[in-house]
Structure 1
Amino acid sequence: MHEIHHLMDGQSVAGSSGRTSPVFNPATGHRTGSVSLASAEEVDAAVASAKVAFDEWRTVSVARRTSAMYAFRNLVAENTTEIARLLTAEHGKVHNDALGEVARGLENIEYACGLAQHLGGHHNESASTGVDVYTVRRPLGVVAGITPFNFPAMVPLWMLPNAVACGNTFVLKPSERDPSAPMFIAELFREAGFPPGVLNVVNGDKVAVDRLLEHPDVKAISFVGSTPIARHVYTTGTSHKKRVQALGGAKNHMVVLPDADIGLAADSAVSAAYGSAGERCMAISVVVAVGDVADPLVEAIKVRMEKLVIGDGSDPASDMGPLITREHRDRVAGYVGSAAEQGATVVVDGRGARFDGDGFFLGASLLDNVTPRMDAYTDEIFGPVLSVVRCGSYTEAVGLIAGNPWGNGAAIFTRDGGAARRFQTDAGAGMVGINVAIPVPVGYHSFGGWKDSLFGDTTMYGPEGIRFYTRPMVITSRWPDPATSSVDLGFPTHE
C-alpha cells in the first residue's frame, strides 16, 4: 500500500494530524493505499505558502504565465495514459471514460493558455478633456478548490488553470477517495515550472473543508459535489466574505417525443445513464417518454442494456466499471427495491447481476412507470439506475422538469425543429441538449446549472471562470498638457 501525502511549497509533505483514510481499488475491493487527512493547522500552512507565493506571482508577466501553462498542457497531454490509469485504479471508471475525462480537462488548460486575450481590459482615451479611463482585471489572491470523487482529474482542471493564469495562487482539496490522479497532476504542474506555493494540495475531509471556508486569507472557493454540501459551502463561505461558486446535484431529464429517432434516443440514453456507472452530475437519470413512443423506446433501451459488459475498468472489453464504495453500491441498489415497492416496473434489475471477487459492482437497472412521488425520482441516485416517466404531451413533460428542484441539464430528442427551439426556452436548466443527451459545454463556454444545481451567480470555467477569479478595477487619470507642464520634457513649443 502506498501513502499519499500533501503538497506544500513544491514538496511532498507527510501528514502530521495522525488521521488517515483508506483508498481502495473499487474493481477488487482491496485497499491499495492510505491518504493523510489534514488538520486545520496543515490547511493554515498551505494557505500561508500560497499567500507568500501570491505576492510574487501576481507580478509575473502574462507571457511567463502563458509559457508555464503551455508547458503544463504538454505534460498533461504526454501523461494522459498514466492519469487515466490512476483514475481507473481508484475511481473504477473504464479506460475510455478515463481518457475522456483527461481530454475535457485539457480543454480548460488550453483555454487558460489564451489568458493574454481574455484578460485584456478596455480603454477610453480622452473620456473628458485630458482624462483617460480604463478597466483592468486584478487577481483575488489565494483561492481554493474542493473537488469531488467522480471526476478527480477533470474538475480540478476546471478551476486551477484559469485561477493561476489570472494571477491567483491555488489550494486544492481533492476527494480523499481517489486522490492519486490529482496529486500526479500537481506534480506535473510543478514540473512545468510554476514557482513553489502557486499550487498547494491538502488532502482531507470536513476538517480541511471547513477551515478553508473560514480562513481569512482564502478569498474565493470553488466547489463541485452534492446539493447539501454545496449549500453548506455557499452559506459558510459567503458568511466569511468569500466569493463562492458551488455546483450541486442534479436530476437530468431526457424528453423523447413521438417523432424522435428511437435508435439514436436509446443509444444516447444507455450511454448517458450508465457511463461511469452513472456517477456523474450530467448523467441522464430520467427519460420522459411522450405519448406512444414509450413502449418501443423502453424495449430499445432494454435490448441495448443486454449488450453492456460490466467489469474491471482496466479491461478493454468493459463498458461500465464498479461504483466508488461498497456502501454507495448498496445505497444505489436500495432504490431499485424501493421503486418496485412503490409501484414501478423493474424492466431490468441490476441487483441480479453476479460478479467474481469483492469489487463494488452493480448491474445496470431500468425502471418503467416511475412517478414523481417515488424515491427513485425525487432523490439523486448517482448510480446506474435509469427511470422512465411516461407523459401524455410535451407540455406535461416540460412541466415535470420545471417542477424538479434541480436544473443542471436537460435534453430533448425530436425531429421537429419548432419543438426543439421551444424546448430551449422551456427546459429550465442551465445546459440544454438537442438530440444530445449530455450537453457538457466545451472549455471556451462555461459549465453550470440552475436552481439547486448551482449556488452563487458564476458558473465554472470559460469566460465565467475568468470573471470569478478576477475583480475589475477602473482607473481614471488626468495628465497635464506637455506645453503647460513645469517639467521640461523636450517637447517643441507651439508659437
Structure 2
Amino acid sequence: MRSIGHFIGGKHVKGTSGRFADVFEPMTGEVQAQVALASKAETRAAIENAKAAQPDWAATNPQRRTRVLMKFLELVARDNDAMAELLAREHGKTIPDAKGDILRGVEVVEFALGIPHLMKGEYTEGAGPGIDLYSMRQPLGVVAGITPFNFPAMIPMWKFAPAIACGNAFILKPSERDPGVPMKLAELMLEAGLPPGILNVVNGDKESVDAILDDRDIAAVGFVGSSSIAQYIYERAAATGKRAQCFGGAKNHMIIMPDADMDQSVDALIGAGYGAAGERCMAVSVAVPVGKTTADRLMEKLIPRVESLKIGLSTDPTADYGPLVTKAALERVKDYVEIGIKEGAKLAVDGRGFKMQGYEKGFYMGGCLFDNVTKDMRIYKEEIFGPVLSVVRAKDFDEAVALPSDHEYGNGVAIFTRDGDAAREFAAKVNVGMVGINVPIPVPVAYYTFGGWKRSGFGDLNQYGPDSVRFYTKTKTVTSRWPSGVKEGADFSIPTS
C-alpha cells in the first residue's frame, strides 16, 4: 500500500503526527493508500521553510520565474496520461474528465506566463514640480491554498501558478481524499527548476488548516469547498490580518425558455448535470423550464436520457461518469434522494439501486431525476453534490430569473434560448456571478476570472485572471523628487500638484 507524506523543501517528508487517513479507490471501494495528517508543528515547519526560500525567489526577475512555469507545462504534457489515470483512480472521475481537470489548470499556468507584463506598475512624469510618481507590484511573501477533492489538479494550479509567478512562496494543503496528483504537481515544479521551498505540500485535516489560518507568516489564503467552511476560513483568516478568497457551494440553475432548442438543452443538462457524478461546483443541479408545455417536452426527452446513462469504471472510455469519491459521499447523496421523496417531489428516475457488476463495493450511483421540485424543499435549497437533477417549473420568465437570483448561492447560471433580447435581459438582471447563454457550464477562460456571489464566494477578489495578480501582490507607490532646484526651508502644508 502506498504511503503519502508531505513535500517540503523539495523533498518527500514522512508524517510524524502519528495520524493518517485512508485514500480509497472509488472504483473498488478498497483502500489504496494512507496519507499522513500534519500536526501544527509540521505545518509550521513547512511555513518556515517557505519563508526562508521566498526572498531569493522574489528577487528573481519575472522572466526567469516564467521560464520555470514554461518548463513545468512541458513536464505536465509529458506526464499527462499517467497523472490523469492517478487522478481517476483516487477521485473516481473518468480519464477524459481527469484530463479536462488537468487542462483547465494548465490554462491558468499559461495565463501566468504573462506575469512580466501583468506585474508592471504605473509611471507619471511631472506629477508635481520636479516630482515623478510611480507604482510597483511586490509579492506578499508566503501564501497558502486549501483545495478540494473534486478538482485535485485544476484548483491547485489555479492557486499556486499565479502566486508563484508573482514571486510568493506557496503552501498547498490539498484534500486528503485524493492527494496523489497535488504531490505530483509539486514534484514537476521542482523538476522544472523551481527552488526548493517555494511550493510545499502539507497533507492534513482541520488541524493543519487551522495552523495555516493562525500563522502570522501566512499573508493570504485561498480556499474552495463548502460554504460553511468557506465562511469559517474567511473569518478566521481575517482575524489574523490575512487576505482571503474563499469559494463555497453552489446550486446552479439552467433556464430553458419555450423557444430553446430542446435537444440541445437536454444534451447540456445531461453533460453538465451528471458529468463527474455531479461532483462539480459548476454542475447544473436545477433545470427551470418556463411554461407547462416546455416542462412537459423537457421531461419527455430527459427521462430516457437519464435512464440510459452509462455508469462505469473511471478507466472505461465509454462511461458517462464513474463512481463518487467515497462511501460517505455516496450515502449522503442517497439520503438527499430520500429527503426529496419525503418532501413530495416526484422521483422520475431513481438510480440508487445501481450496482457495478464485479465492483459491488465501489461507490457507484445511477442518475436520479426529480420533477415538481419547489423552492421550499431541501433538495432545492441545499447542495447535493451528486448525480441528481431537480426540475423546478416556472410559469414565466420573471419567475425563472427570480429563482437563481433569490437563492442563497450565486455561483453559476445558464439560459437556453434563441431570443437575444431575453438572453441580454437575463444576463443583466440575474443575481449570480457567472452567466452562460446557451453554455451550460460558464467557467470563464483563464484571462478573465472565476468567482461566485452571495454564499458561493467570500472576499473581494476572484480566482485566476487579473484578480489573482491583485490578490497575490501589494502595490507600493513612490513619490520621487531629486535635490536639484529644491528650495530650502520647511514646508508645513500638505503637498499638492
Tell me the TM-score normalised to structure 1 length. Answer: 0.96
RMSD of equivalent CA atoms: 1.2
Q: Any idea what SS the aligned residue of 1:69 has? A: helix
Structure 1 gap ranges (5+): 485-495
Counterpart in 2 of 1:338? 339
State the shift of 1:480 in Å. Answer: 3.6
Counterpart in 2 of 1:120? 120
**Letter of the aligned partner of 1:473 in structure 2?**
K
C-alpha separation in 1, matches of 2:51 and 2:174: 20
**Letter of the aligned partner of 2:17 in structure 1?**
S
1:459 maps to 2:467: no
Aligned-pair identity in percent equals 51
State the shift of 1:146 in Å. Answer: 0.2
Q: Deviations over 1:266-311 (max 9, x none)?
A: 0000100000000010000100110020011112122222332101
1:377 maps to 2:360: no
Q: Deviations over 1:168-225 (max 9, x none)?
A: 0000000000000110111001000011110111000000000000001000000000
C-alpha separation in 2, matches of 1:67 and 1:354: 48
C-alpha separation in 2, matches of 1:354 and 1:78: 36
Structure 1 contact 77–106 (Cα < 8 Å) conserved: no
Within-5 A mapping of 1:143-158: 143-158=143-158
Residues 124, 268 of structure 1: alpha-carbon distance in 2 compared, 3 angstrom cutoff: same
State the shift of 1:80 in Å. Answer: 1.3
State the shift of 1:481 in Å. Answer: 4.0
Q: Any idea what SS the aligned residue of 2:59 has? A: coil
Counterpart in 1 of 2:60? 60
Structure 1 contact 84–102 (Cα < 8 Å) conserved: yes
C-alpha separation in 2, matches of 1:379 and 1:96: 29
Within-5 A mapping of 1:291-330: 291=291, 292-330=293-331
State the shift of 1:79 in Å. Answer: 1.4
Within-5 A mapping of 1:201-280: 201-280=201-280
Q: Any idea what SS the aligned residue of 1:433 has? A: strand
Q: Deviations over 1:245-268 (max 9, x none)?
A: 000000000011111000010000
**Letter of the aligned partner of 2:214 in structure 1?**
E
Counterpart in 1 of 2:286? 286
Counterpart in 2 of 1:417? 420
State the shift of 1:426 in Å. Answer: 1.6
Q: Which moved more, 1:191-200 or 1:329-338?
A: 329-338
Counterpart in 2 of 1:492? none
Q: Deviations over 1:132-167 (max 9, x none)?
A: 101111100000000000001100010101000101
C-alpha separation in 2, matches of 1:228 and 1:398: 26
Q: Deviations over 1:347-374 (max 9, x none)?
A: 1101132322210001110000001111
State the shift of 1:482 in Å. Answer: 9.2
C-alpha separation in 2, matches of 1:82 and 1:243: 35
C-alpha separation in 1, matches of 2:319 and 2:26: 14
C-alpha separation in 2, matches of 1:39 and 1:202: 10
**Letter of the aligned partner of 2:126 in structure 1?**
S
Structure 2 gap ranges (5+): 488-497
Q: Any idea what SS the aligned residue of 2:421 has? A: helix
C-alpha separation in 1, matches of 2:238 and 2:83: 34
Tell me the TM-score normalised to structure 2 length. Answer: 0.96
1:475 maps to 2:478: yes
Within-5 A mapping of 1:132-171: 132-171=132-171
State the shift of 1:448 in Å. Answer: 0.4
State the shift of 1:403 in Å. Answer: 1.5
Match of 1:367 among 347, 366, 370: 370
Q: Deviations over 1:423-450 (max 9, x none)?
A: 1112211100000010001111110000
Structure 1 contact 130–480 (Cα < 8 Å) conserved: no
Q: Which 4+ stretches in 1 moved above 6 angstroms? A: none
Counterpart in 2 of 1:491? none
**Letter of the aligned partner of 2:398 in structure 1?**
T
C-alpha separation in 2, matches of 1:293 and 1:461: 38
Q: Deviations over 1:290-341 (max 9, x none)?
A: 0020011112122222332101111112111001111110110112222122
C-alpha separation in 1, matches of 2:85 and 2:465: 27
Structure 2 contact 256–287 (Cα < 8 Å) conserved: yes
C-alpha separation in 2, matches of 1:165 and 1:85: 28
Q: Any idea what SS the aligned residue of 2:442 has? A: coil
**Letter of the aligned partner of 1:308 in structure 2?**
L
Counterpart in 2 of 1:429? 432
